[in-house]
Structure 1
Amino acid sequence: MRQYDIVVVGAGSGNMLLNEETAHLRAAVVESDRFGGTCLNRGCIPTKMFVVAADAAVGVREAGRLGVHASVDRIDWKAIRDRVFGRIDPLHESALEYRRANGVDVYTDAGRFVGPKTLQVGDERITGETIVLAAGSRPVVPDIPGLDDVPYYTSDTIMRIDEIPESLVIIGGGFIAAEFGHVFSAFGSRVTVVQRGPRLLMAEDEDVSARFTELARRRQNVLVDAQVAAVGRSGRGVAVTVSGGGTVEASALLVCVGRRPNTDLLDVAAGGLDVDEHGHVAADETYRTSVPGVWALGDIANHFQLKHMANAEVRTVRHNLLHPDDLRPLPFRLAPHAVFTDPQVASIGLTEQAARDAGIPYRTGVRNYSDTAFGWALEDTTSFVKVLVDPERRTLLGAHLIGPSAALLIQPLIQAMTLGQTVDQIGRDVLYIHPALTEVVENALLDV
């Protein structure tokens, strides 16, 4: 049995753990798929490259409101797709070669626990003084009658298809469904979204969720409070039967109902590791698991499914491995996120419904993009910024944006929440450039 100082299981964010600070350790990486993990190969990076192209198409079609009359001549799907993966795909081999050239053993078979701190990887058995689990997650495939008998896509596979589907049914109403709904409707597919809840993006603030649902209905067929009863083949491709809503036929089906941690594929129980009720590896605030010497980070250990969180966890875990007498948690407690759909959505902290349900006192400030000069320039009539504020401490409890550049506009609010700044400090003691779009953030703060 080969023995290592450190074994990293998963070469997404886990691959970033090994750097010059760990070069003195005898190290191994176990990765049966592609280096870069979900984010690089099937997630954040390729989807945003598709979103940029989709934004361009929508921008042309909607430019008439600005007096610019234009049309989209053709969507070259294969050129878009090949631009994306022509850049991404070569990175796997170069990353693998880089690790091996720098003395790291790379195992390309799947690994699973056969005992505490012992992994079976292909025909070999390995162990490590330290093991870091960063094996990620994968799409949930729901138990829908007939699904096994029809062709369908998940977020792992939809981006590599050869042609834009004439019509597409998306099962699910979360952030992955929202982004792909935008991409394929922008590229000409007739998109139907089937969502079991009353609105799309149900995890967002209720005002943002309601506005996004309203806007999505302008471009897509949105079915809410809808349960998928069964799926089957049809002359057009696939037929989706919705409880109380009839049957929707389309040429393609995309299943986007969430992701599950890969703990079952690792057989973590055989390694003595505890998991929570959702199947994530249980870890403390410093990322130690129930087995001494085993650590866990990223999607396999938390519910955020955010690359920026996993990156921060890598930095924290590396410090803790190298400084066992000075263990640290993450330096922040809040996890901001953005949904790169149309319009963009960004959020941090408490939603209004969460504050209300928990009985937390709050005040809200809301400003529309249309209240600002740049909002006029955009002819924007639907976007807004909403902030929740602690009325005594005068600090932010949450911030929720929907509209162009939401993922950028939220950044000063993230910093304010993280650093404990008051709304007076960030609303009155800082200059905002006029007539930049950031004035809508300033005005929402002044509204409180």
Structure 2
Amino acid sequence: MAHYDLVILGAGSGNMLLSEETARLKVAVVDPGRFGGTCLNRGCIPSKMFVVAADVAVGTRTGARLGVHATVDRVDWKAIRDRVFGRIDPLHDSAVDYRRANGVNVYTEPGRFTAPKVLRVGAEEITADMFVVAVGARPRVPDVPGLDAVPYHTSDTVMRMDELPASMAVIGGGFVAAELGYVFGAFGTDVTIVQRGPRLLMAEDEAVSERFTELAAQRHRVLLETTVTSVAAHGGGVALTVSGPAGEEVVEAETLLVSAGRRPNTDLLDATAGGLALDEHGHIVTDDAYRTSVPGVWALGDVANHFQLKHMANAEARVVRHNLLHPEDVRTLSNKVAPHAVFTSPQIASVGLTEQEARRLGVAYLVSVRDYAQTAYGWALEDTTSFVKLLVSPADRTILGAHIIGPQAATLIQQLIQAMSLGLTVDQVARDTIYIHPALTEVVEQALLEV
């Protein structure tokens, strides 16, 4: 039985734990998948590379509103796909080779706990003084009659298809549906989105969710308050029987994308056999320092939180690395400011309270909304639908929440994230900072000044 100072389960954000400081430790990394985890191989990075190509296609077709008349001759799906994964796929082997060359044992078979701090990997059992569990999450597949009998894609597989489908049905209305629905629609696929709720992107601020739903319905068929009651094979594709406000109907498509959320991989790890406490959703329970219920075992990323965000996992990895090496000076990470973005069209970014959350919690707030169209750069864009929305505390004038829908939203929100993290008031951010004219950042400035 091999014994290590540190065993890392998961080579996504878990791989980031290793540094010059950990070189003195005897370390093993266990991951049956590809180094880089979800983000690099089947999540944020490849999907954004597809989004960039989609933006070019859409921008070309819509240039006439600016007086630029152009057409898209064709979209070469295989060329786009191969550009994306031709850059990503070689990174796995080089990462494994690099770790092994630097004294890290890499296990490429699945690991399962057999007891606290005892892990079976293949035919071998290993132990360690410290474990970090960072095994991530995977797409959740809903229990729909017939789904297990037809071919379908999830976000894990859809970007590696050999051919661009003529039509696609999407189950779910969250960020995967928003981003990949946009991508395939931009490339020419006829997309139908089936969403149980009354809007798409229900977790966003209601105003943002409503605006995005309106815009998405202009380019896709969007079925709201509709459930899939069964799925069957049909003519080389699939047929979804759905039930909604108009009654029951059948949606036919060449390809089916299931985007019904994600579930933590704790079941694949036998986390409970390892003594790890789980919450009602199957996530590993940790404290603010990412310690689990087992001394010496830490957890981070999608397996331990509900954010499902790579930048949050990166921040957690930095905290956990410090805590592993400096147990006398344990650091914590506050999740009060947890921003996110949806790289669809229009782009969406959000941080802090939504207006519906503020109402539900009874939090007093002021609201400021500023349209892109009210700025010079908004004129240049001929933008008529984008806006910035702020929620501000009337008591101490700090920002409670910020929500942006429109071009460059994920970039524009960064100064507001910083202001919230540092406890700055809207007055400080608006009046004590000079904003470049006529940059798009003026829409944020104007929203702040309005408060």
Shorter chain as denominator, the TM-score bin is: over 0.9
Q: Equivalent residues in 2 for 1:57-96 (5 A)?
A: 57-96=57-96
Structure 1 Cα separation of the partners of residues 154 and 46 of structure 2? 14
> What is the CA–CA distance in structure 2 between the aligned matches of 1:331 and 1:313, rounded to whole Å?
10
Superposed, 1:77-226 pairs within 5 Å as: 77-226=77-226
In structure 2, how many angstroms separate the alpha carbons of the residues matched to 1:274 and 1:423?
41
Q: Which moved more, 1:98-107 or 1:244-253?
A: 244-253
Which residue number corresponds to residue 17 of structure 1? 17
Residue 323 (structure 1) aligned with residue 326 (structure 2): yes
Alignment deviations for residues 123-147 of structure 1 (CA, whole Å, 9 cap, x no partner): 1100010000000000001100000
My pick for the range that moved more, 404-413 or 324-333, is: 324-333
Residue aligning to 1:287: 290
Q: What is aligned with 2:257?
A: 254
Distance 1:285 1:333 in 2: 12
Segments of structure 2 that go 5 or more residues without pairing to the other structure are none
Shift of 1:331: 5.3
**Conserved 8 A contact 1:236-1:250:** no
Q: Is the Cα contact below 8 Å between 2:366 and 2:394 reproduced in 1?
A: yes
CA distance in 1, matches of 2:48, 2:248: 33
SS in 1 for 2:24: coil
CA displacement 1:252-306 (0-9 Å, x = unmatched): 0000010100000000111111000000011111000000010000000000000
In 2: Cα distance, 1:305 partner to 1:141 partner: 17
User: In the aligned structure 1, how far is the partner of 2:176 from the partner of 2:252?
Assistant: 21
Q: d(CA) in 2 for partners of 1:443 and 1:389?
A: 14
Using the alignment, how far apart are the partners of 2:25 and 2:233 within structure 1?
A: 54
Q: 2:337 and 2:279 mapped to 1: Cα distance?
A: 21
Q: What is the DSSP-based 3-state SS (H/G/I as helix, E as strand, rest coil) of the residue aligned with 1:23?
A: helix
Give matches, 1:364-443, under 5 Å: 364-443=367-446
From 272, 276, 291, give the equivalent of 2:275: 272
Runs (5+) with no aligned partner, structure 1 = none
Cα contact 1:155–1:176 (8 A) shared by 2: yes
Q: Which stretch of the first structure deviates more once superposed, 230-239 or 420-429?
A: 230-239
Distance in 2 separating the partners of 1:138 and 1:236: 27
Partners of 2:336 and 2:352 within 8 A in 1: no
Contact 1:54 1:186 in 2 (8 A): yes
In 2: Cα distance, 1:211 partner to 1:31 partner: 41
Alpha-carbon shift at residue 334 of structure 1 (Å): 1.2
Q: Deviations over 1:317-366 (max 9, x none)?
A: 01111111111111563110000000000000000000011110000000
- 3-state SS of the aligned residue for 2:191? strand
Q: Is the 8 A contact 1:147 1:232 kept in 2?
A: yes
Partner of residue 317, structure 2? 314
1:304 correspondence with 2:311? no
Distance in 1, matches of 2:335 and 2:259, equals: 30
Q: Per-residue displacement from partner, 1:195-217 (whole Å, max 9, x unpaired)?
A: 00000000000000000000000
SS state at 1:309 partner: helix
Match of 1:47 in 2: 47
Q: Distance in 2 between matches of 1:245 and 1:418?
A: 48
Counterparts of 1:250 and 1:70, CA distance in 2 = 30
Letter in 2 for 1:59: G
Once the two structures are superposed, residues 50-89 of structure 1 have per-residue CA deviations (whole angstroms, 9 ceiling, x without a partner) of 0000000000011110010101001000000000000000
Could you tell me how far apart the structure 2 residues matched to 1:245 and 1:86 are? 43
In 1, Cα distance between equivalents of 2:73 and 2:286: 52
Q: Identity of aligned pairs, percent?
A: 71
- Any conservation in 2 of the 1:236–1:249 contact (CA below 8 Å)? no
Query: Which SS does the other structure have where 1:315 is aligned?
Result: helix
Note if contact 1:332-1:418 (Cα within 8 Å) is conserved in structure 2: no
Tell me the distance in 1 between the aligned counterparts of 2:170 and 2:334.
38
Q: TM-score, normalised by structure 1?
A: 0.99
Taking the aligned partners of 1:55 and 1:169, their CA distance within structure 2 comes to 21
Helix, strand or coil at the partner of 1:228: strand
State the distance in 1 between where 2:367 and 2:292 align.
Answer: 39
What's the secondary structure of 1:164's corresponding residue?
A: coil
Partner of 1:38 in structure 2?
38
Classify 1:332/1:301 alpha carbon distance in 2 versus 1 (closer, same or farther; 3 Å): closer
Alpha-carbon distance in structure 2 between the residues aligned to 1:134 and 1:87: 24
For residues 175 and 5 of structure 1, the distance between their equivalents in structure 2, rounded to whole angstroms, comes to 39
Quick one: distance in 2 between partners of 1:104 and 1:250? Answer: 47
**More deviation, 361-370/244-253:** 244-253
Report the Cα distance in structure 1 between the residues aligned to 2:73 and 2:13, rounded to whole angstroms.
40
Are 2:341 and 1:338 aligned? yes
Check conservation: 2:288, 2:334, Cα contact below 8 A: no
Contact (CA 8 Å) 1:226, 1:245: kept in 2 or not?
no
Deviating beyond 6 angstroms after TM superposition, the runs of 4 or more aligned structure 1 residues are none
Partner SS, residue 420 of structure 2: helix
Task: Tell me how large the CA RMSD over aligned residues is.
Answer: 0.7
Q: CA deviation at 1:428?
A: 1.2
What amino acid is the match of 2:146?
G
Structure 2 CA distance, aligned partners of 1:135 and 1:216? 33
Shift of 1:429: 1.2
